[in-house]
Structures are given as structure tokens and as C-alpha cells.
Structure 1
Amino acid sequence: MLVLLPPSETKRAGGTGRSLSLEDLRFPSLTDARRALADDVVALSEDADAAIAALKLGPKQHGEVDTNRELWQSPTLPALDRYTGVLFDALDAASLSPGARAFAGEHLVIHAALFGPVGALDPIPAYRLSHDSRVPGRPLKRHWRSAVEQTLAAETGLVLDLRSEAYVALGPAPEGTHFLRVLTESPGGVRRALNHFNKKAKGEFTRALIESETNFTTTDQLLDWASDVGIRIERQPDSTDLALLV
């Protein structure tokens, strides 16, 4: 089983690990693409005004340029601990048991705009780059889409895609992947997609999945487990999509 998460704009600063080594990251087929983009982002940071425009930084975010300039030298944290924000706060990685963290390291992948998909425990530095950032001469969709698509296509087993559509565009998951949509249902039975609060639901669902420490191999197994623990997930008609109802 593989679970794909989006990243977060907000990240913890600092770190306890050694500086970035691309060889420590999952999916080594992406190493060259990672190095080329990281070098371009560092080079961009030498021109603060250009970097601020490319990264769409507000006045209180200008320090992110310095963060990118130190990309190769700054300390690292496991990706699962690096990201903050609604989804990752709900997942609350710091309180996971050692067994659950190990399970996350094997089955959870976070799709970073800078590094492509990385394992949950892969050591990464703080950085600033979003799916819609404009790195001169290197459009992110063109840079990542084919490489990430080929990399994910090599994965076998059940794949759950919890990414936003913006990150799916940077590398579609294999055919047969279950894209998870978060829906709410009114008393009259009308369903609608959640916006901001879908991140919290995805974080809580991911935590429950990690804590189960179960490598589900079929959709039926996943749905049976969800029903047993009080999580409402349904297949969507004429689609491999799943709906998480909250």
C-alpha cells in the first residue's frame, strides 16, 4: 500500500539531521531531476527581488529567500516532521508510536514541489517552493510530470491519493489509484466537497491508517477496516475515486 499526501506551505525551521543528501531520499530515479531543480532554486535566491516574485512571497515571508539560499547546507528533519499546517497538525506525527512511524516510513509518501515524492521519514531541509512557483527556465509541471508519473507507475499494490489536484498535475498516480475526496453530507442527503477543512479530515484519516499498521492489499480490506473503526468511506459510481464522508 502507498498513501500519497500533498505537502504544506508551512514548515518547521531548523533540524537535527545532517545536510541534504539526495541519495537518502526515496525514489532514486528522481535524483537528477531533484538536483537540477534544487540548484536552480539556490541560484534564484541570489537575486532576492526575482526570488520574491517567483515564489510569490508576501512582506513577512522574505526570509524564505535566505532559507532557499542555504538549501544544501541547512540541517534536515524527516519529511513527516518538517511540514506543519492543518493536515500535518491533525496527523500529529510527534505523538505517533515508534511502530506507527516505521509504518509511515514504509507506506506514506509526501509530494514536495522541490523534491517530487519523498518518503515520510526522508531527511529534507526547510525550503520554499510551491506547485505554482515560477523557477526561470524550469516550469514545474514540465519538469516533474513525466518523471513522477513513471516513478509512481512502478509501484505495485493499493495506492491512495490524498493530494490536491495541483500536485496530481505534477505527476499523476498509476491507473487504478483511488483518489480520496472529502465530502460532507447535509441532513437532506446533499453532499458537497469541503475546502479548508478537508485537510483536517485527511490528516485524521492518515493518522488512523498509520496507527492501524496494516498493509491493505485490496480496496475491500480498506473499506472493511474503515467501517470497523467508524470511518465512513464509499466507492464513487463509475470511478476508482473514494469519498471520505465527514
Structure 2
Amino acid sequence: MLILLPPSEGKASAGDGPKLDLSALSLAEVTEARETVLDALERVCSGPVETAREVLGLSARQTDAVERDLQVRIAPTLRAADLYTGVLFDHLRLPELLAGGAAARARESVLIFSGLWGAVGVADPLPPYRLSMGVKLPPLGALGAFWRSRLTDALAARAEGRLIVDCRSAAYAAAFVPTGAAAERAVAVRVLRETTSGGVTKRSVVSHMAKATRGAIAHTLLAEGVEAATPRELADALNDLGHTAELSAPARGKRPATLDVVVRE
């Protein structure tokens, strides 16, 4: 399997590893594109702070993120597994997986998408930074479109013959859209909250719960060594492991299947 994850806005503030080495990151095919985005980010952050905040979508309280982005090349790094600290990663518990018997699976099976790096592996050494995939970064434009043109071939090769388990949010999903045979082996994970009131059952999407549940599901797949080859096998495996997973066929055959994971209250 290949598990695709978004990053988190929450990140560790400092590392203790060597400074950034772009050649040490996964997907070496996009090293040049990473350099291009980093150059553009540095130009924006070297200008007026107010302009940089506007481009990056930062509030006045987040001005320190502009300075952090200017230090990306020289700041100490830490593993991607330790850098990302949001809700999804709290439930994914990557450091625990990398310290145990699932380490090889996590290294081989997980890619974390990033506005700055495109996509990285869990052990890649990264400095703290701030750049969302939803940013339109001068002069490159929308980063989702920029990365899609650079990542598609590399990720199609990485995903060949493997089930793609897509846990990304919409902004990061724009950076790689499985097509052809890859789309047939892909499944997008959606989380629904089910509530019952007055005998009426309703289902809804809740963002915070979705992040936590996607992280927990990814942890389960890696920790248990699940080797599903099709969306149906994935749904069956998750149900066997105590989750409620329902598979929906792709609309008109044009999109990956959707796997609804139901959380009942």
C-alpha cells in the first residue's frame, strides 16, 4: 500500500539535526522543483513582512513564521515524523511506529504532502517551516497545480501495483490525482460522524474528527501490517480490526472509490 497524508499546520519549533540537504529527501526526482519553491519562498519572505504574511495567509500573531521560513536552509532539521504535530499525527504516532516492528512499513508506505517539499517520507530530515499547499506563491502561482505537474510521474511510478490509500485534504489532493490504472487502485478515505436523535440517524463530516480518525486508521494499517491490494480488501481489513468501513463505487468510473469510515456517537 501507499498511504498519502496531508501535513499539519502544527509543527515542532526546532530540531537538532544537520541543516537541510535537499538531496537527502525522498523522491529525488523533484529536487529541482523543491529548490524552485524554496527560492520563491525566500524572495517573498525577504520583502515587506506585511506582504509576506498576506501571501502566506498568516495573521499578525504569526509573523515569526516569516523569519522561520528565511532560516529554512540553515536551521537544524528533524525527522518528518517528529516535525508534524497536528491532530492526525497525534493519532498516527509515527515515532512509535518507527521505533518498533512497523518501521520499515512506515518508511516504505507513507508519503506526507507539503507545499514546500511536494511530498516527503516519514524519516526525511526537515527544518521547521510554514507554507500551505493552498498558497499562490509568486511567481509560481497555485502550489497545488505547480506540484501536480512535477509529482505526477514520480508518484505514478512509486504507486505502480500498489493500493493508494488517500487520507489527504482537498488542498493537498490537488498536488497528485491518480489516473488510469492507479485510479482503479486508489481509495479516498472519508470520515462520517453518525448520531441518532429521536429515532433519526444522521451522518455528517466533521473536520477535526476526520483528522483524528484518519491518523488512527493509518496507524492501524501500519501497526497491523495490513497488505490490502484492492479497496474492497482494505474495507474488509478495517472492519475486521474493529472499524466501521463502507466502500462506495467511484462515480461513473472517473474517480477513485470512497471508503467511508463511520464514527458513531
For the aligned pair, the TM-score class normalised by the smaller chain equals over 0.9
Distance (Å, rounded) in 1 between the aligned partners of 2:249 and 2:237: 21
Q: Secondary structure at the match of 2:204?
A: strand
| Residues 176-219 of structure 1 deviation map (CA, whole Å, 9 limit, x = unaligned) | 21011111223344322222211111111111112113333333
| Residues 144-189 of structure 1 deviation map (CA, whole Å, 9 limit, x = unaligned) | 1222222222222110000011111122134221011111223344
CA contact (8 A) 1:147 1:171 kept: no
Structure 1 equivalent of residue 22 of structure 2: 22
Structure 1 segments unaligned to the other structure (5+ residues) = none
Distance 1:55 1:238, change over 3 A: closer
Distance (Å, rounded) in 2 between the aligned partners of 1:181 and 1:222: 14
Structure 2 equivalent of residue 119 of structure 1: 121
What amino acid is the match of 1:234?
E
Structure 2 equivalent of residue 212 of structure 1: 224
What amino acid is the match of 1:68?
D
Structure 2 segments unaligned to the other structure (5+ residues) = 252-256
Identity of aligned residues (%): 35
After TM superposition, the score normalised by the length of structure 2 is 0.87
Distance (Å, rounded) in 1 between the aligned partners of 2:175 and 2:12: 24
What amino acid is the match of 1:242?
L
CA contact (8 A) 2:151 2:176 kept: yes
Distance (Å, rounded) in 2 between the aligned partners of 1:185 and 1:142: 35
CA contact (8 A) 1:99 1:213 kept: no
Match of 1:175 among 183, 187, 201: 183
| Residues 28-69 of structure 1 deviation map (CA, whole Å, 9 limit, x = unaligned) | 221111111011112221112321121121122111111111
After TM superposition, the score normalised by the length of structure 1 is 0.93
What amino acid is the match of 1:143?
F
Distance (Å, rounded) in 1 between the aligned partners of 2:194 and 2:249: 17
State whether structure 2 residue 151 is matched by structure 1 residue 148: yes
CA contact (8 A) 2:231 2:247 kept: no
Distance (Å, rounded) in 2 between the aligned partners of 1:74 and 1:35: 16
Q: Secondary structure at the match of 1:98?
A: coil
CA contact (8 A) 1:2 1:160 kept: yes
- Offset at 1:118? 0.8
Match of 1:228 among 229, 240, 247: 240
Q: Which contiguous aligned blocks of 4+ residues in structure 1 show a shift greater than 6 angstroms? A: none
Cα root mean square deviation, aligned? 1.7
Matches for 1:188-207 after TM superposition, within 5 Å: 188-207=200-219
Distance (Å, rounded) in 2 between the aligned partners of 1:225 and 1:132: 33
State whether structure 2 residue 262 is matched by structure 1 residue 245: yes
Match of 2:193 among 177, 184, 187: 184
- Relative contact order: is structure 1 or structure 2 higher (C-alpha 8 Å, sep ≥ 6)? 1
Distance (Å, rounded) in 1 between the aligned partners of 2:30 and 2:147: 9
